[in-house]
Amino acid sequence: MSEAVLVLKDVSKTYASSSEKLTILRSVSFSVDPGKIVVITGESGCGKSTLLNLIGGLDTPTSGSIEAGRYQVGALSEDGLTKYRRNVLGLVFQFHYLLREFTALENIMLPARIAGLSSHEAREKAEILITDVGLESRKNHYPTALSGGERQRIAVARALVNDPLLILADEPTGNLDEGNSRMVEDLLFSVVRKHGKTLLLVTHDSQLAHRSDQRYTLHGGELLPA
């Protein structure tokens, strides 16, 4: 068996206020092998996004460990987190989060430029990906000139440009209508499979879970096999 891309051991997350402690995640443990598509489902507010934020290094666990691509995520310094995000992760959020000053193609190129690729190299990779998501004809358009579905497809392409070990997708179709949702889902799965990437996707849509290699349900802060 090949080495896991992501390993979580007994990860817990508790938010403490002055009056009470709110435990969102309780001893979550699982691992993801390379090239697999893993879907975690659960109701709104069950902690799916929190789990993804912990894995993405955007938040830190209260206890437990997260290892992704040889990085101990919870223990990383600011510099370490920067390297981790550059080298290991591709992120797709519920909202597209494209930069409005950059064209569609430039938005895809941006993580590659941040990682240090030349403009030429980044452009080559972005051109391939924008073709993969079917928006080659829209590459010079700014996000404001794109539809919601198109923006999210660009966001998917952007997540792939640095050839990440792990793609984290947080309700990537949550802001889209049904038609666009299906299109983006299909695209995400097909592109990820085409490029042989590992995808961890959280969603409240249980139908989506059926298309995965591995699926879990998050309930009451505990992760259960679905």
Partner 1 sequence: MKSSLLVVGRYLAGAGKGGSLRRIRGAVLSVALSLIPLIVVMEVSDGMIQGITARYLELGTYHLQAIAGRDAQEADGEILSRMRHLPGVDLAVRERQGVALAYSKQGRGGVTLRAVPPELWDSDPGLRAYMEIRSGAFDLSTEDSAVVAAEIASRLRVQVGDEIKILTTRSLAGDSLMPRVSTFTVRGIVSTGYQEMDKLWIYIPIGRGDRIMSRETSRQLIGIKVQKPFEPLEAISRGLRGVLPQGFRIFTWNDLEYAQYVSFRTTRYLLIFIMALIICVAAVNIFSSLVMIQIEKREEIAILKSLGMSGGEISAIFIILGFLVGCVGAFLGVAAGLALSVSINEVIAGVETLINGAWGFVRGLFLLPNAEEHIRIFNPDFYLEHIPVTIKLEELALAAGFSLLVALFAAWLPSRNAGKIRPLEVMRKH
Chain residues in the site for partner 1 (CB under 8 A): 53, 56, 58-59, 78-79, 82-83, 85-86, 91, 93, 95, 97, 99-103, 106, 110-111, 113-116, 142-144, 158, 162
Q: What is the closest distance, in whole angstroms, from the C-beta atom of residue 140 to partner 1 in the complex?
A: 11
Q: Is 189 exposed, middle or buried (0-12, 13-18, 19+ CB in 10 A)?
A: middle
Rounded to whole angstroms, what are the CA distances from 69 to 45, 101, 224? Answer: 28, 32, 24
Q: Is 4 exposed, middle or buried (0-12, 13-18, 19+ CB in 10 A)?
A: middle
Nearest CA among 179, 175, 185, 180 for reference residue 206? 185
Q: What is the closest distance, in whole angstroms, from the C-beta atom of residue 56 to partner 1 in the complex?
A: 7
The Cβ of residue 178 has, within 10 Å, a number of other Cβ atoms equal to: 8
Output 102 or 189, the one with its CB closest to partner 1: 102
Output 85 or 138, the one with its CB closest to partner 1: 85
SS3 7: strand
Q: What is the closest distance, in whole angstroms, from the C-beta atom of residue 158 to partner 1 in the complex?
A: 8
Nearest CA among 167, 164, 170, 155 for reference residue 218? 170
Q: What is the closest distance, in whole angstroms, from the C-beta atom of residue 45 to partner 1 in the complex?
A: 13
Output 75 or 99, the one with its CB closest to partner 1: 99
Output 118 or 207, the one with its CB closest to partner 1: 118
Q: What is the DSSP letter of 3?
A: P
Q: What is the closest distance, in whole angstroms, from the C-beta atom of residue 180 to partner 1 in the complex?
A: 20
Output 99 or 224, the one with its CB closest to partner 1: 99
